Amino acid sequence: MKDTLIFVGIDVSKARLDVETRPTGEKESVANDKAGIKALVKRLAQLQPTLIVLEATGGYERQLAQALVRAELPVVVVNPRQVRDFAKATGQLAKTDSIDAGVLAHFGQAVRPEVRSLPDQVTLELRALTARRRQIIEMIVAERNRLAMTSKAVGKRIVAHIRWLEQELERANQDLDQSIRQSPIWKENQEVLLSTPSIGPVTSRTLIAELPELGTLNRKQISALVGLAPFTRDSGTLKGRRMIWGGRAPVRSALYMATLVATRRNSVIRDFYKRLIANGKLFKVAMVACMRKLITILNSMIKHKTHWSESFLKTA
């Protein structure tokens, strides 16, 4: 009979997977390829762990995470900063792949991070297209800045490069739109999002790709996931300002621009913003509050598959 709770930490690098199991302390290392992952998943399926913890490593963890999900094993991909802070708090200052695997297993045992569904391959592809679009925009901005301070001869080449990048941006937009149209659920969600004053194609694409949980969580959970939940900083008699922390930066950036427009063109957000400013709130504080209100409204709209209407907002 299996009474002992088992926690597995896996440190993922490009070439290797370092594994440690708690409480036994058993360690192993396998190649981060199809054969190594297959063997590891088979062993873990026999072990029946309580939780498997991986760090987000920029994509190297995806193949393993998806294989674990297909095997119906409880896996969670955590923020590396959280794990590093946990390691420091427990006095583990040294850092190697083997040590990191042990820290991940210990983190899983002590913190018990919640297991959430991982994005499927189609969602990952959409997220990659969205990220590529952001990179192209950054390159266009950089080239335009260089153009302002370069020689005439070099300027011609920069102008040519900007034109090429703008064509790439248009192709990226077309690829994103095509991907969304091919999914009935994404298409319906985009139509719901676009019905909202101040939400345009860029914001809707970003929310669909980077925030697939939209419509499945409650208002507090979705705010925390985006990084809009305020945290207190009080100690003794000192009362600090509440601050937002963490969350998904791409979503927050897109939502900020949408909210900025909403404070002028969306009657619900505009009136809310004006009340906050009239009550003496600073611009940034008011903007974060408006962003939080907007994302909770969108969350409710997606949940109920309802387009924007003030009558719906009164009952939501």
The confidence score (pLDDT) of residue 98 equals: 84
By CB atoms closer than 10 A (0-12, 13-18, 19+), residue 213 is: middle
Q: Is residue 155 part of a domain?
A: yes
d(CA 93, CA 230): 30
The confidence score (pLDDT) of residue 261 equals: 96
The answer to whether residues 221 and 305 belong to one domain is yes
The answer to whether residues 95 and 169 belong to one domain is no
The answer to whether residues 266 and 205 belong to one domain is yes
The confidence score (pLDDT) of residue 189 equals: 93
The answer to whether residues 88 and 125 belong to one domain is no
The answer to whether residues 208 and 276 belong to one domain is yes
Count structural domains, the chain: 3
Domain end, chosen from 60, 76, 111, is at 111
The confidence score (pLDDT) of residue 1 equals: 37
Q: Is residue 262 part of a domain?
A: yes
Q: Is residue 187 part of a domain?
A: no
The answer to whether residues 240 and 292 belong to one domain is yes
The confidence score (pLDDT) of residue 310 equals: 67
The confidence score (pLDDT) of residue 152 equals: 86
CA distances from 232 to 28, 159, 238, 240, 276 (A): 41, 49, 11, 7, 19
Q: Is residue 1 part of a domain?
A: no
Structural contact between residues 101 and 20, judged by C-beta atoms closer than 8 angstroms? yes
> Closest by alpha carbon to 8, among 39, 38, 33, 44?
44
d(CA 254, CA 203): 5
Q: Is residue 190 part of a domain?
A: no
Q: What is the DSSP letter of 25?
A: T
Q: Is residue 18 part of a domain?
A: yes
What SS3 class is residue 29?
strand
The CA angle 21-103-83, to the nearest 5 degrees, is 135
**DSSP H helices in the chain:** 34-47, 62-70, 80-89, 97-111, 121-147, 152-181, 184-194, 201-210, 219-226, 249-265, 267-278, 283-304, 310-315
Q: Is residue 254 part of a domain?
A: yes
The answer to whether residues 205 and 151 belong to one domain is no
**Residue ranges in the chain whose pLDDT is less than 70:** 1-3, 231-246, 310-312, 314-316
CATH of the domain at 37: 3.30.420.40
Residue whose tokens read 């094993």:
73
Domain residues for 71?
7-111
CA distances from 222 to 35, 259, 273, 300 (A): 37, 16, 21, 10
Q: What are phi and psi of 311, to 5 degrees?
A: -65, -35
Residue whose tokens read 């959970």:
221
The confidence score (pLDDT) of residue 234 equals: 53
The confidence score (pLDDT) of residue 2 equals: 53
The answer to whether residues 219 and 133 belong to one domain is no
Q: Strand 75-78's sheet: what is its strand order?
A: 26-31, 16-22, 7-12, 51-55, 75-78
d(CA 260, CA 299): 19
The confidence score (pLDDT) of residue 114 equals: 83
Structural contact between residues 275 and 267, judged by C-beta atoms closer than 8 angstroms? no
CA distances from 60 to 86, 155, 158, 294 (A): 22, 39, 34, 34
Write the DSSP string, 271-312. HHHHHHHHTT--HHHHHHHHHHHHHHHHHHHHHHT----HHH
pLDDT digits (tens, 9 = 90+) for 228-286: 877 555 555 556 566 655 678 889 999 999 999 999 999 999 999 999 999 999 999 99
The answer to whether residues 80 and 35 belong to one domain is yes
